[in-house]
Amino acid sequence: MVQGDDLGMCRAVNEGTELAATEGVLTQTSVMAPTPWFAEGAAMAKRIGVPVGLHVTLTCEWDFLRWAPLSPAPSLRGADGTFHRTVEDAATAVPGEAIAEAHAQADRAVALGLQLTYVDPHMGVSVVPAYTAICERFGVKFIYRPLEPHHVWTSLIILSLAPLEDRAAWFVERLEQIGAGTHFVLSHPAVSSPELRAITSEDAPNADWAEPIRVADLEALCDPAARKLIERRGIELVGVRDLD
């Protein structure tokens, strides 16, 4: 299973996700309902038929690309009215407010015609009851441990943490090494663009997560060598909707 996170965050991510799904090996994508380009991302996901999960978004990590809760949620907001920047700060939110926000995000996804097949967190787990509430509402599983119920993977391959240089070759090597089982590849594809480079300051600690990591992920997912290896080894590409 090959997942791309952050659909809706910006247009470069939407474009990269579509390319990864139509020309690469991406099999599902996690959507961010409070973000500026979510409506376009949702329309694209429906048009090409890529399965989606709700990327419950309780944080916003960028300097200049800022988004706010869809619900009142004062405990989820920083001084500027947008989400807190870190998982640690988000974890201090009032649980009831985080649950209401998660439902508001799910409501928007459903209103835009999406069928949610799983739930996962943006940046990391902060307010556990918020994720649990959405899993229960839609009868789906959480992607990661330790929440219950969760999907179980034979291995987790985090493409976004692989070496930037020749990431595509690294990906092919990892695919060559996997054995029988259900394997999960996590990625963050996007196309190179001035928009993507402008979402945070150049000296920000997470600057690599703005463009370099995402563009390298897209290149790896669309590398013809990866497709050829998958076909040669008989690896089945699936989404979580195919597993239960």
Segment 95-118, tens digit of pLDDT = 999 999 999 999 999 999 999 999
Pairing between β-strand 116-121 and β-strand 52-56 as defined by DSSP bridges: parallel
Residue type at position 34: P
Distances in Å between the Cα of 11 and the Cα atoms of 65, 167, 187 are 12, 23, 17
What dihedral do alpha carbons 110, 56, 163, 190 form, nearest 10°?
40
- The CA radius of gyration of the chain, in Å to the nearest whole number, is 17
pTM: 0.96
Does residue 244 have a pLDDT over 80?
no
Give the burial class of 171: count Cβ atoms within 10 A of its Cβ; 0-12 exposed, 13-18 middle, 19 or more buried.
buried
DSSP state of 85: S
Query: How does residue 68 score in pLDDT terms, banded at 50, 70 and 90?
Result: very high
Span 67-73, mean pLDDT?
98
The residue-averaged pLDDT of 215-242 equals 97
Q: What are phi and psi of 28, to 5 degrees?
A: -165, 165
Q: What is the pLDDT of residue 146?
A: 83
pLDDT in tens, 115-132: 999 999 999 999 999 999
Using a pLDDT cut of 70, give the percent of the chain over it.
100
Summary mean pLDDT of the chain? 97
Q: Are 67 and 83 in contact (CB under 8 A)?
A: yes
Q: Do 223 and 196 meet the contact criterion of CB atoms below 8 Å apart?
A: no
Measured CA distances, 139 to 131, 133, 142, 149 (Å): 12, 10, 10, 10
